[in-house]
Amino acid sequence: MVLEMENVSIRRGDSWILKDINWKVEKGEHWVLLGLNGSGKTFMLNLMNAYTFATKGNVNVLGLQFGQTYLAEKLRRQIGFVSSAIQQKIHQGDNAFEVVLSGAFASIGLYEKPTDEIRQKAISLLEDLGCIEYANREYETLSQGERQRVLIARALMADPKLLILDEPTNGLDFIARERLLEAIEDLAKKPDAPTIIYVTHHVEEVLPVFQKTLLLKEGEVFGSGDTKEMISTRQLTQFFDLPVEVSWHNDRPSLSKVQMAKK
């Protein structure tokens, strides 16, 4: 089991941010976490990374039971996390190669001298993710899509067992988005790929490799299970409280609003 949440709730002041979350992710599964802004996705991610803790309920990530041991540092070394928050912390002046190398040490910035083995691994990841041509360019000069590829390569340097991608296509145009999604799909198909949790509020980003989906609404699990059951016309109409239609093409969904006849 990679992740297990049992009756998990988080309270802040008088409000429950997450309520009675039950979720299990097994090794080798790739999941989509789908929810609108304000649904509680960020708290879920902070919980997985031990940046916050549950008010009640049980959480187990990669075999580490929350509350029984000090696990933050040990846990985070086994999780690759790509988010806009990390992107904002990258040091100005570091080039793409240095950013990827820093992933081997779980640091922001490169403070240790990498071995030849670490350097070769970084080069291989840059090649796999299509970043090698701009390895020597400063990170801040890269496009948003290029930056995201570099951050994914950085996250993979420590051979994580769990890779969390938090809305990685934000700010990308259609072409850049599809290129990044293609790279993610190629990664997920590898036999040694980590379990991937892909966080989004865009249905059209759900790739065929994501066979499982959790729908999060107002801090509660609206539904979880096989992706084609979760991302269906009936389910999403109820989820969005809006008449929508889901169409599938090449195992990718698209969403459209149903126009109601005027009386």
Q: Which residue range is the domain that position 231 belongs to?
A: 1-78+161-263
- Give the residue from 121, 142, 159 where a domain finishes: 159
pLDDT at 109: 74
The residues pairing with 95 across neighbouring beta strands, listed in sequence order, are 138
pLDDT at 160: 94
Residue 134 tokens read as: 């701009």
Give which of 167, 183, 204 is closest to 84, Cα–Cα.
167
Cα(206)–Cα(213) distance, integer angstroms = 9
- Give the residue from 122, 140, 159 where a domain finishes: 159
- Give the residue from 105, 138, 159 where a domain finishes: 159
Same domain, yes or no, for 244 and 114?
Answer: no
Cα(17)–Cα(35) distance, integer angstroms = 14
Neighbours of 20 (CB within 10 A): 15
Q: What is the pLDDT along the chain (263 residues), one digit of tens a residue?
A: 899 999 999 999 999 999 999 999 999 899 999 999 899 999 999 999 888 889 999 999 998 888 755 566 778 789 999 988 888 888 888 999 999 999 888 777 777 788 999 999 999 999 999 999 999 999 999 999 999 999 999 999 999 999 999 999 998 999 999 999 999 999 999 999 999 999 999 999 999 999 999 999 999 999 999 999 999 999 999 999 999 999 999 999 999 998 765 55
Residue 4 CA to its chain's centroid (Å): 16
Q: Which amino acid appears at position 62 of this protein?
A: L
Residue 176 CA to its chain's centroid (Å): 18
Cα(134)–Cα(143) distance, integer angstroms = 11
Same domain, yes or no, for 48 and 171?
Answer: yes
**Interior angle at CA 257, CA 255 and CA 258, nearest 5:** 125
Rg over alpha carbons for the chain, rounded to the nearest Å, is 19
Same domain, yes or no, for 52 and 176?
Answer: yes
Cα(113)–Cα(102) distance, integer angstroms = 10
- Pairing assessment for the beta strands 162-166 and 79-82 based on DSSP bridges: parallel
Q: What's the pTM value of the predicted model, to 2 decimals? A: 0.92
Same domain, yes or no, for 236 and 182?
Answer: yes
pLDDT at 261: 54
Same domain, yes or no, for 149 and 165?
Answer: no
Query: What's the structural domain count of the chain?
Result: 2
Cα(227)–Cα(210) distance, integer angstroms = 7
Give which of 25, 30, 32 is closest to 169, Cα–Cα.
32
Give which of 203, 189, 196, 214 is closest to 253, Cα–Cα.
203
pLDDT at 32: 98
CATH classification at residue 236: 3.40.50.300
Same domain, yes or no, for 63 and 98?
Answer: no
Give which of 163, 190, 185 is closest to 86, Cα–Cα.
163
Give which of 239, 171, 207, 176 is closest to 30, Cα–Cα.
207
Residue 50 tokens read as: 């031990």
